[in-house]
Amino acid sequence: MPRLSEIEQPDLPSRDSVDGEPPQPLIRQNSWRSYHRVTSQICHSYLSALLLLVPIGIVAGILGWADEAVFLLNLAAIVPLVSWMTLSITELSASVTPLGDELFKATLGNAVELTVGFAALARGQVRIAQSVLLGSILCYLLLVLGSCFFVSGYNKKKLDFDPTLTGILSSVLMATAVCLMIPTGLVMFLSPDVFARGNITPVTHGTAITLFLLLLVFLFFRLRTHTSYFKAIPAGGSTQSPQIAAVRSWRPAVILAASVLSVALCGFFMVGSLSGFAKSSRISQHFIGLVLIPLVGNSTKILSIVTVDREDRGALGIRTVIINALRITLLVVPCVAFLGWVLDVPTFLVFDAFDTVIFLVGVIVTNSMSQRGQTNYFEGLMLVGTYVLLPLLIFFPAHLRYRTDVLM
């Protein structure tokens, strides 16, 4: 019977305590079983019927159907593919090294962000690539974290968790966010003559390299020097890893390969039809990239995290959020930036001022909550409310602008 890697449970809870109860282990065995069980249930639910849209969406893109049909078909087809990819990576984690396990989850686990980022950058749609990456991070920091706090604490006075590991991870996230926003800050606050296109290139290159080096340090921290922080410890005190049902080694590998290929094709055609869909629906491309694609594309992962976090009183959620945000920031963003070098798009890491402010606010709020070691359902609702406000700020002004253009 294969066993899960002891390292990959970043998303799972750490030692937390509730009034009158003894401290909990760093990572509960039952929590990981529950996460695998919920993901498996999603894969085998009626949601899998959307897999029928995968060939339809790809054919629609090849045959050049209307942009609205191509975009919606491929966006809907990605939903079940993500759940099957998550389940396959989980089952394959027993047969790879801890480093390979983490890289699997950081890359293939974020295949939607990578595919859309690559496709958008290749088409010269830099703003779309930026919006999807930042939108995914904001979705985790605001919507997922807020939902976890609410469903875990709506009938409790407070939620307690050990701030030690969470504080370390949130500090890394804060430092990473500041590093990521350095090119944007220079462009915003210095004279345009000082940082022309040619002069900003070394800064963006240095930022991408620094983020990648931080990833290496983070992996060294997780896999070599502080592995005990992430080691699975069952309630009985044994250090044995949690186990899942045995599967044939070839089956999850084949499913993963097919899912990744399908996501790549669906993402490519979705990005190609995004502009036409935005014009016909009178929805801004910024809204589609920052909100719609990350929310729909990661909907099954969000559902799994929130469902399992209910059993762990909020400890699972905050670590899941921070780890996923770090994966995107430290690996996915540099990978897309490296592609920008090849395509001569040095301004990829220069973000919009509005996106920058919202991103930093989300990171600061997450860092503040993780340092205190306790929260409640009301703070969760505030995070969700902040995320809901984003579509109102982005969608409606764009909608009015389109209507003004029509009237003119």
Q: H/E element holding 220?
A: helix 197-220
What is the reported pLDDT for 405? 39
Q: pTM to 2 decimals?
A: 0.82
What is the reported pLDDT for 336? 92
Least confidently predicted of 25-29, 166-170, 228-232, 279-283? 25-29
Contact 142, 317 (CB under 8 A): no
Residues 325, 175, 213, 346, CA torsion sign: positive
Other beta carbons within 10 angstroms of residue 4's beta carbon come to 21
Least confidently predicted of 109-123, 147-161, 163-177? 147-161
Per-residue pLDDT tens for 275-313? 999 999 888 888 899 999 999 988 888 888 888 777 665
Distances (CA, A) of 99 to 4, 7, 8, 220, 338: 13, 9, 9, 9, 22
What is the reported pLDDT for 137? 93
Least confidently predicted of 211-225, 253-267, 381-395? 381-395
Least confidently predicted of 16-30, 152-166, 292-306, 384-398? 16-30
Residue/partner pairs of 335-341 with CB below 8 Å, 24 or more apart: 335/107, 335/114, 335/117, 336/114, 336/117, 336/118, 336/121, 336/129, 336/133, 337/204, 337/207, 337/208, 338/208, 339/117, 339/118, 339/121, 339/122, 340/121, 340/126, 340/204, 341/205, 341/208
What is the reported pLDDT for 268? 94
Distant-in-sequence, close-in-space partners of 406: CB < 8 Å, separation ≥ 6: none
CA 306 – CA 112 distance, rounded (Å): 20
Which of 14-23, 167-176, 207-216, 353-362 is the most confident on average? 207-216
DSSP 240: P
Look at the chain and count its residues. 408
Query: Which pLDDT band, with edges at 50, 70 and 90, does 29 fall under?
Result: very low
Query: Which pLDDT band, with edges at 50, 70 and 90, does 378 fall under?
Result: confident
Over residues 213-220, the mean pLDDT reads 91
Which of 233-237, 382-386, 390-394, 400-404 is the most confident on average? 382-386
- State which amino acid sits at residue 32: W
Per-residue pLDDT tens for 304-351? 888 877 766 556 778 888 888 999 999 999 999 998 888 888 777 888
DSSP 344: T
Between strands 159-160 and 374-375, the pairing is: antiparallel
Least confidently predicted of 26-30, 98-102, 265-269, 387-391? 26-30
What is the reported pLDDT for 194? 59
